[in-house]
Chains A and B, each alone.
Chain A
C-alpha cells in the first residue's frame, strides 16, 4: 500500500493517518464526491471532505474532537467513489484510532462505548454474545431502557441467545493479547 511519494505533507496528523491506514489524504483535491454520497453527512459537524481538509491543514484539535468519524457507518460509498482512490472510510478509522490513542474524549461517546462493549464481548466469548454485549453497552451508556421492548420481542422470537457459546474464547483471548502486545511495541503517538 505505497502512497504517492511525490505528495508531501507538513501535517503530523496526515502523517499519523498515513502510518495507520496507508491512506494519503494529500491526494484529495476537494471534489466532494465523498460528501455528496455520504448518507450521514447531514448529521455530521464537518463533512468528510472538510474533515480531510482539516487533517491536511494539521488542525488536530478540530479533527479529533469532531463527531464526523464517530458517525461514519463504514458504508464505503466515499471509498468507492473517490477519483483519487483515497479510502476515506479507512481515513475515518485511522482518525478514530488516533483520537483514542491520544486519550481524546469521543464526541459521540455512545459509539466508542459500543465498540468497547462489543470487543470486550468478543474477546471473552469468542463469538458475539448479543445479550452480554447489550448489557455491557447499557452499563457504559446508562441508557437502560433503550430498545427494551424490541429486545424482549427478539428474545421471544428466538433471535437472542440465553447463554454464550464460548467455543472460540481461548482463540480470541490469545489473538487480542498478541495484538495488544504488537501494537504497544510499534506505537507512535
Chain B
C-alpha cells in the first residue's frame, strides 16, 4: 500500500527549517508514503499577508492548492504548522464568504480548488499508518515534552485538528514508537512567532516560560512541529539563557527527527547537525545506559539540567 500526497514544504522548510524537510522525507520513505512536491509552489503569505490584506492572505494559499489539484492529487500535506493553518484558513473562508471567494477567483484567474484535503503529517502518522512496525532503535533516555504551539490547533473551528487546548496527536505518535512523552501545561502556549524579528524581548520572555516549564516537569528534550517554534526554542535558546541567567541546554527536535531516530536513520540524514543546541550528548547517553529509563546522570536535579553543559559545549 502506498499512500500518496502532494507535498507543500513552504519557505521555512527550504531554509531555516530544512531539517524538518529532510527528516519528513526520510520518515515517509521508510514508511512507504509517497510525497510529491507541488511544482511551482509559492509562499503562503503567512502573518505579513493576513495582517495587511485579507484578500492576499487567502489568494496565495489557494493558488498553491490549485497547483496541487492540477497534479491530480486529492490530499496535500503541509508539515509547517503556519502554512498548514493558512491553507486551511483560506479554504474555510472561501467556503464561508461568497464575496471574497469571487474576488479570489478574479485574482487567480480561474476556479478555486474544489476537492483538496489539507493534512498535517501528524494526521498521516496517527491514522492508518503503523509507525510502530518500523521501529528498530529504542530511545529510553528521552523524556520529551511535545510542544504544539499555536497554529496546529487554533482556531479549532477552522483547523479541526485534535483537541485545541490539550492536543495529544504528537504524543500519541511518539508514544507509539516507545518514546516517553510527559504531560505539561505549555503544549499550546505561544512562543511569540515572528515577533522574534522585531520585538525579540517578547519572544525571549515567552520562550523562557516554555523552557522553564519543560525543565520543571523533568523533560530533557522538546518535540515541535513548526519551524517558527523551532527557531525560537532552539536558535534563540542561548540568548534566553543569557537574558535570564538560566541554563537549559534542551535539545529541540522536530517530531519527524525523533521518528527517524527510532527507525534507525542516522542523525546526519535527519539534519540533527543543524541544531544550535546539540543532541549528541543526550542521544549517546540514551544508548550507553540502555534500559535505564531516565538516562540522566544522577545529580540532585531533575532531568533536563543534566545534559546541559556537554550539549552546549559540543556545538560551539
- Bound state CA distance, A87 and B59, in angstroms? 20
Q: How far in angstroms is the closest Cβ of chain B from A11?
A: 20
Chain A residues with CB under 8 Å of B40's CB are 167-168, 171
Q: Are B198 and A171 in contact (CB under 8 A)?
A: no
**Do A73 and B192 contact each other (CB < 8 Å), given the known contacts A20-B54, A97-B54, A182-B55?**
yes
Contact of B155 among A76, A134, A172 (CB under 8 A): A76
Q: Which A residue sits closest to B164, measured CB to CB?
A: A80
For residues 266 through 283 of chain B, which have their beta carbon under 8 Å from a beta carbon of chain A?
273-274, 276
Q: Which of A76, A114, A134, A147 gathers most chain B CB within 10 Å?
A: A76
B133 at the binding interface (Cβ < 8 Å): no
CA distance A74 to B119 in the complex (A): 21
Interface size class of A (residues with CB under 8 A): 35 or more
Q: Which residues of A contact B49 (CB under 8 A)?
A: 119, 122
Whether B72 is near chain A, meaning CB under 8 Å from some CB there, is no
Does chain A have a CB within 8 A of B176? Answer: no
Instruction: Assess whether A115 is in contact with B48, with CB atoms less than 8 Å apart.
Output: yes
**Could you tell me if A128 and B11 are in contact, using CB atoms closer than 8 angstroms?**
yes
The stretch from A24-32, A47-55, A57-65, A157-165 touching chain B is A157-165
Which residues 66-100 of A have a CB within 8 angstroms of B? 71, 73-77, 79-80, 87, 89, 93, 96-97, 100
The yes or no answer to B172 lying at the interface (CB within 8 A) is no
* Residues of chain B lying within 8 A (CB to CB) of residue A130: 11, 15-16
Q: Is the interface of B mostly helix, strand, loop or mixed?
A: helix
On chain A, the residues within 8 Å of B235 by CB distance are 150, 154
Q: Give chain A residues whose Cβ lies under 8 Å from the Cβ of B195.
A: 40, 71, 73, 111
Given contacts A122-B43, A128-B11, A154-B235, contact A75 B193 (CB under 8 A): yes
Q: Mark B1-40, 1 if CB is under 8 A from A, else 0.
A: 0000000000110111110000000000000000000001
B63 and A171 form a contact (CB under 8 A): yes
**Which listed residue (B189, B198, B236) contacts A150, Cβ 8 A?**
B236
Contact A115 B14 (CB under 8 A): no
Q: Which residues of B contact A134 (CB under 8 A)?
A: 197
In the complex, what distance in Å separates the CA atom of A39 from the CA atom of B202?
9
Binary interface profile of A, 160-186, with partner B (CB < 8 Å = 1, else 0)?
110001011001100110110011000
Alpha-carbon separation in the docked complex, A122 to B48 (Å) = 10
CB contacts (< 8 Å) of B14 on chain A: these are: 127, 161, 165
Residue A13 interfacial (CB < 8 Å): no
Please, how many angstroms separate the alpha-carbon atoms of A171 and B63 in the complex?
Answer: 9
Residues of B within 8 A of A93 (CB): 50-51, 54
Contact A168 B42 (CB under 8 A): yes
Q: How many residues of B contact A (CB 8 A)?
A: 61
Tell me whether B136 is interfacial, beta carbon within 8 Å. Answer: no
Q: Given A73-B193, A172-B42: A1 and B97 within 8 A (CB)?
A: yes
Determine whether the beta carbon of B56 is less than 8 Å from that of A176: yes
Is B164 a contact of A97 with CB atoms below 8 Å?
Answer: no
Min CB distance A22 to B, Å, is: 7
With a cutoff of 8 Å between Cβ atoms, the chain B residues found around residue A114 in the complex are 48, 194, 197-198
B156 within 8 A of A: yes
In contact, B42 and A171 (Cβ under 8 angstroms): yes
Whether B53 lies near A97 (C-beta < 8 A) is yes
Whole-angstrom distance between the Cβ of A67 and the nearest chain B Cβ: 10
B291 lies within 8 A of chain A by Cβ: no
Q: Does B213 contact A (CB under 8 A)?
A: no
A75 contacts which of B54, B55, B97, B190 (Cβ < 8 Å)?
A: B190
Nearest B residue (CB) for A87: B155
Q: Is B106 in contact with chain A by the CB < 8 A criterion?
A: yes
Q: Are A71 and B56 in contact (CB under 8 A)?
A: no
Asked whether A21 is an interface residue with its Cβ less than 8 Å from the other chain, the reply is: yes
A153 touches B192 (CB 8 A): no
Residues of B82-112 contacting chain A, CB below 8 A: 93, 96-97, 103, 106-109
Q: How far is the CA of A167 from the CA of B14 in the complex (A)?
A: 13
The 9 closest A-B pairs by CB, nearest first: A168-B42, A75-B190, A128-B11, A118-B48, A76-B154, A110-B198, A75-B150, A115-B48, A178-B107
| Other 8 A-B pairs with CB < 8 A, given A127-B43, A179-B107 | A71-B195, A76-B154, A93-B54, A115-B48, A118-B46, A119-B49, A179-B55, A183-B55
10 A–B contact pairs at CB < 8 A? A40-B202, A71-B195, A73-B150, A79-B155, A108-B198, A126-B43, A127-B43, A158-B274, A161-B14, A172-B60
